[in-house]
Amino acid sequence: MVWRVSRQLDGALAGRVLTRSDFRVPRFATTNLAGRTVHEATARGKHLLIRVEGGVTVHTHLRMDGSWRIWPASRYPPRDHRVRLVLANESWQAVGFLLGVVEVLPTTREGRVIGHLGPDLLGPDWNAAEAVHRLRAAPERPIGDALLDQANLAGIGNLYKAEVLFLRGLSPWRPVGVVDDLEAVVELARRLLEANKEHAGQVTTGNPARGQETWVYGRAGRACRRCATPVLADGYAGRGTPSQERVTFWCPSCQPAMGS
């Protein structure tokens, strides 16, 4: 089924220059691929990969209700609210309806999303129970590490990891198996992402003023907003030199390593 769709897309798009791209998902609303040649469309499992000139891949997934239609380019661009993506060239327009996933990524990173992506926090098919199930599969793993693993659930970056764990009073190093309410953790992450998805900045405190946006993220050495204990920062032990994106921030008082 998906393979067949990929063949149709490949037939309509491959080897042709895009004259228009229309991403009707918030995250990629400003992405414009016009002027680039489509190399190929292919399927990997249930994932559709449209590889475009410049090392870019348009990754989509049909999930439950998605479908693609290929129309002549002369047809008026669809106004249907179910349309998530339109890729058009001089001859054809490929119109994706109700796609469960639409994202643009470097072609070299396809491996990260194919076949092992967990439920997407901002996806139409978000499934908290499935995310919790995946997290629980490795009970000894530190919760901070587990939340960043996109194979468990997709969408939490380092900022949201730090902020969610602070708000739940959880040390980043607490093993997943002794986190009482994982569902509350992932639902909080979803609410924070939802609240910020339309904005350029990321605010978890409710205060968008500069320097007030976060509870602990980026605040190493500063006083915790709740208890005034200095916020700590560290990389993950055993991972070699901590890189900036791997640094975690936490309040040792509000987020004790053992049970609260």
How many residues of this chain interact with Zn ion, rule: CB under 5 A? 7
Q: Which helix (H) or strand (E) holds 112?
A: helix 110-113
Site for Zn ion, residues 224 to 243, rule: CB under 5 A = 224, 226-227, 229
Work out how close the CB of 229 gets to Zn ion at its nearest, in angstroms, rounded to a whole number: 5
Work out how close the CB of 249 gets to Zn ion at its nearest, in angstroms, rounded to a whole number: 11
With the C-alpha atoms ordered 117, 153, 172, 163, is the resulting torsion angle positive or negative? positive
Rank residues 192 and 251 by Cβ distance to Zn ion and give the closer one: 251
In the numeric block, the tokens 């499934």 are attached to: 127
Query: How buried is 62 (Cβ within 10 angstroms: 0-12 exposed, 13-18 middle, 19+ buried)?
Result: buried
Rank residues 38 and 254 by Cβ distance to Zn ion and give the closer one: 254
Q: Would strands 56-61 and 67-72 be described as parallel, antiparallel, or unpaired?
A: unpaired
Q: Which stretch binds Zn ion (CB under 5 A): 18-26, 118-126, 184-192, 250-258?
A: 250-258
Q: Which stretch binds Zn ion (CB under 5 A): 47-55, 105-113, 173-181, 245-253?
A: 245-253
Rank residues 68 and 215 by Cβ distance to Zn ion and give the closer one: 215
Rank residues 229 and 243 by Cβ distance to Zn ion and give the closer one: 229
- What are the E-state strand segments in 62-116? 67-72, 83-88, 92-97, 101-106
Q: Are 106 and 61 in contact (CB under 8 A)?
A: no
Give the one residue of 14, 16, 253, 256 binding Zn ion; rule: CB under 5 A.
253
Instruction: Determine the 3-state secondary structure of 123 from DSSP.
Output: coil
Which spans of this chain sit near Zn ion (rule: CB under 5 A)?
224, 226-227, 229, 251, 253-254
